[in-house]
Chains A and B, each alone.
Chain A
Amino acid sequence: MSDTKKYLVGMFDDDDVLLHAVKDVRNAGYEITDAFTPFPVHGLEHAMGLEPTRIHTAGFFFGATGLTVALSMITFINKFNYPTDYGGKPNFGLLAYVPITFEHTVLFSAIGMTVSFYYLCKLWPGKKPKIIDERTTDHLFALTFELDSTKDANYVNAVSELLKKEGAIEVYQKEV
């Protein structure tokens, strides 16, 4: 396929070794393309210098939307579109709207964030994944370095050496 890319892959068998390696590799001035781990390794995103995710901010706005939709819709219906007189009680009874407004806020926020998550990660049912190494969902950790046309043999050698020194159990090249 035309959209395959070549990667230098360093495999690790321990998350602490991996974290240490990530720091040293970045200090040495090499750019890590991605890391693949079987479970969320705490501190990895900081070590790799990833931007903090803003998915929770999105969640706030989705929630605010849900709140607004629920409150305005209930108000419109009860006060204007279908006002009913129950023993002279006010048509706009904010306290009674709290439960549904709350549920709606949570619902919008949860659905919005989850959809955003799959959208941002580009995950969908039936997607053909680009698997660097099948063992990364099992017990090994992988660091990948994209090898584009600017990277020569010296670069590959230098990074491979460094990875091995840092405790990689395997270093190899792979095109996916």
Chain B
Amino acid sequence: MASHFESPLREPLIFGNKTYKQITNDIVGPTTGKVQPKWLFWTLVSAAVAGLFVFCITWEVCFGIGTWGANKTVGWAWDITNFVWWIGIGHAGTLISAILLLFRQKWRTGVNRAAEAMTIFAVVCAGQFPIFHMGRVWDAFFIFPYPNTRGPLWVNFTSPLLWDVFAISTYFTVSLLFWYTGLVPDFGTIRDQSKTPGRWKFYNFLSFGWVGSAKHWERWESLSLILAGLSTPLVLSVHTIVSFDFATSVVPGWHTTIMPPYFVAGAIFSGFAMVLTLMLVARHVMNLQDYITLAHIESMNKVMLLTGTMVGIAYLTELFTAWYSGNMYESYAFANRAFGPYWWAYWSMMFCNLVSPQVFWFRKLRRNLWVTFAMSILINIGMWFERFVIIVISLHRDYLPSSWVYYSPTWVEIGIFVGTIGLFMTLFLLFCRFFPAIAIAEVKSILKVSGNQYRQGQLDEVKDQEVYKNTSVEAGTWD
């Protein structure tokens, strides 16, 4: 009895005639054994880049926000661009694990664990920017409503900036709970495969003493499902609220109702791009080709094609609305984006986000690893430019021509941004080494339906049935 029905014509999600035992060995394997020199090298490089973050942040805290290029006219610049970029990247993990769980998309099991980890690390990076943009970072706790002796002076509950505080902190907490609860059974598996007492203790601590009893699994499944149900509106709300930071203002170019759906689509777009960038490398280095198959990559490319095109439509709609509004400030804001001093940022964004993903209309290109990798990098760049375009170009020429400026970042801003990439990579590399990079239990639970050897059996069964008469059901034709 299979756990769910799937058409036998569908591509298998697990290759290599895996057994339950092999799945355990394949995924626990990378967490054991000697440290690979390659891994150590890249982790040290990433940690050094993360060190740059610490250095630049320290510099900024010591000498103040004046060390940044952001100033009176362009009050929000690289910091908020980077914040929105990282938060967007952080959307794919929860989308994959929550929304795809609700839609019963089984292909999520191969990638959800790493994508969720990526979400958490991306939100960690994102959080740095608004916190350190406060300048007096030691007063950062003022953003939380707590009874105080200053009046009482409360935070403004009707401000989108405060909504953001709640949205981001809730998103981080819920994602962390979701991710960790999923990890607990897999830590139990690693514990039981441990050869040394130190390792056993370490993974037992992480596994909370998990043994896989039937009642525990029942509660675990129920919890996962409800957390997925909660995370689905949550993940949509987070980037909606991020977009409110702009949409509820009265700055031409920001003050548009199209912002929430456009931001959410963009977030999913960039998130999947980052998942692909990381997974294509991890899959190769950790030999996970049997679990992260071309089918997984193709599915993600399809999502990117959809969301990229949605973002593209939003760009065009914005232009149309600006022209149709007849409002000269609104029209100027968009003309300035395309033909002003930052034209290169605008057209980079257009090319990376709208034009280039169209290659994914072709199946051959969707299933080409090099094309996918190149596209994932392009999209990451494009989505960064999108935020830069929205934030900096809308601000740098305000209502008063005497205060117009051409903003460029200082080395401190660049260092902080590059540093967060180092921080992100360090966390991700540590995750790949010490944590199960693929959800072991979840992959096992789909093996009998989506494993290639079982799919072959299903195909043989239906070969002679009337409905499949005109279809080619030869196994192994999926590539």
Contact = CB atoms under 8 A, between A and B. Distances in A.
Interface of A: 15-16, 19, 34-45, 48, 50, 52-53, 55-56, 59, 63, 73-74, 77-78, 81-82, 93, 96-97, 99-100, 102-104, 106-107, 109-111, 113-114, 117-118, 120-121, 123-132, 134-139
Given A39-B441, A82-B153, A134-B192, A34 B214 contact: yes
Given A34-B214, A125-B206, A127-B209, A110 B192 contact: no
Interface of B is mostly: helix
Given A106-B234, A113-B226, A136-B212, 14 more contacts: A34-B214, A36-B211, A41-B214, A45-B217, A96-B157, A106-B231, A111-B173, A114-B227, A117-B181, A117-B219, A121-B213, A136-B211, A137-B211, A139-B20
Of the four ranges (under 10, 10 to 19, 20 to 34, 35 or more), the interface on chain B belongs to 35 or more
Given A37-B214, A39-B444, A118 B208 contact: yes
B154 interface: yes
Nearest to A96: B158
A75 to B, nearest CB: 9
Contact of A114 (B21, B223, B440, B448): B223
Nearest to A81: B152
Contacts of A55: 219, 222-223, 226
Contacts of A78: 154, 157-158
Contacts of B328: none
B438 to A, nearest CB: 13
A124 to B, nearest CB: 6
B157 A100 contact: yes
A28 to B, nearest CB: 19
Interface string B145-189: 100000111100110101100110010011001100100110011
A93 B157 CA distance: 10
Nearest to B194: A134
A77 to B, nearest CB: 5
B204 interface: yes
A59 B227 CA distance: 9
A7 B226 CA distance: 34
B184 A74 contact: no
A80 B49 CA distance: 49
Nearest 7 pairs between A and B by C-beta?
A: A127-B209, A139-B20, A123-B208, A96-B158, A129-B209, A39-B441, A99-B163
A72 to B, nearest CB: 12
Contacts of B35: none
B219 A138 contact: no
A113 B223 contact: yes
Contacts of B204: 126-129
A104 B19 CA distance: 43
Contacts of A109: 226, 230
A125 B208 CA distance: 4
19 contacts: A16-B1, A16-B448, A37-B212, A39-B445, A45-B215, A53-B222, A55-B223, A99-B244, A103-B166, A104-B166, A106-B230, A107-B170, A110-B178, A121-B213, A125-B205, A129-B188, A137-B185, A137-B188, A137-B189
B143 to A, nearest CB: 12
B217 A44 contact: yes
Nearest to A93: B158
Contacts of B216: 121, 123
Contacts of A19: 1
B398 interface: no
B409 interface: no
Given A50-B214, A137-B189, A139-B19, A120 B208 contact: no
A110 B157 contact: no
B169 to A, nearest CB: 8
Contacts of B1: 16, 19, 43
Contacts of B220: 40, 117, 121
Contact of B173 (A35, A97, A110): A110
A82 B237 contact: no
A121 B222 CA distance: 13
Contacts of A120: 219
B3 interface: yes
Nearest to A130: B211
A35 B152 contact: no
Contact of B211 (A50, A99, A104, A131): A131
Interface string B239-277: 001001000000000000000000000000000000000
Interface string B13-37: 0000001110010000000000000
A138 B192 contact: yes
Contact of B177 (A38, A114, A128): A114
